[in-house]
């Protein structure tokens, strides 16, 4: 079993491209807060910043071909 927290960004991205949902979750955990802070600094609106970050992760999910479980 791969310990995702020990992988670097390039390794995680490679796993995300292989539709590894746990790697996607790791990317979310690594970058959600950082992206939110960046978006908030630019937008000065917490709700709008949350929506932008959510949009980024939805885009990544869809781009990499993940399917939602029923």
Give the pLDDT confidence of 15-52 residue by residue, as tens digits: 998 989 999 999 999 999 999 999 999 999 999 999 99
**What count of Cα atoms within 13 Å lies in the side-chain half-sphere of residue 26?**
20
Domain ranges of the chain: 8-60
What confidence category does residue 67 fall into, taking pLDDT thresholds of 50, 70 and 90?
A: low
Q: What is the pLDDT of residue 49?
A: 98
Chain-centroid distance, C-alpha 49: 15
Whether 35 contacts 53, CB under 8 Å: yes
Q: What is the pLDDT of residue 70?
A: 46
């Amino acid at each position: 079993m791969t310990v995702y927290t020990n992988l670097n960004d390039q390794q995680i991205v490679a796993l995300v491209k292989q539709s590894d949902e746990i790697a996607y979750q790791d990317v979310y955990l690594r970058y959600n807060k950082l992206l939110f802070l960046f978006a908030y600094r630019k937008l000065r609106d917490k709700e709008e910043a949350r929506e932008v970050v959510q949009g980024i992760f939805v885009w990544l999910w869809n781009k990499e071909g993940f399917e939602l479980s029923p």
